[in-house]
Amino acid sequence: MKRIMLVCAAGMSTSLLVIKMEKAAEAEGVESDIFAVSSSEADAKLEDASKPVDVLLLGPQVRFMKGQFETKLADQGIPVAVIDMKDYGMMNGEAVLNTALNLMK
């Protein structure tokens, strides 16, 4: 089970992307738990040890938070990346899923 957390400003704009990523994961046979949270909810989700996150993807609108999350997650080995603006704008769930899976390798 791959747990992929997407973070955006309000948690709303990534909801459609999550749906598209879930469809892509299903098509590729990847067992996953993909969810989106607002930047203000992200810390609480990351602290939930019962549901560890495998990768954290930031929406382009919160790219400025990348360093902050990398510092927080460095000791846990959780990769952090900013979603490509083009893939985000086109809601390309397959491309974003592939980015997440590559980061977990």
Any idea which residues carry the catalytic annotation?
Answer: 8
User: Please, what's the b/e burial string for 6-36 (b: 16 or more CB within 10 A of its CB; e: otherwise)?
Assistant: bbbebbebbeebbebbbebbeeeebebebbb
Q: Which tokens go with 20?
A: 């598209």
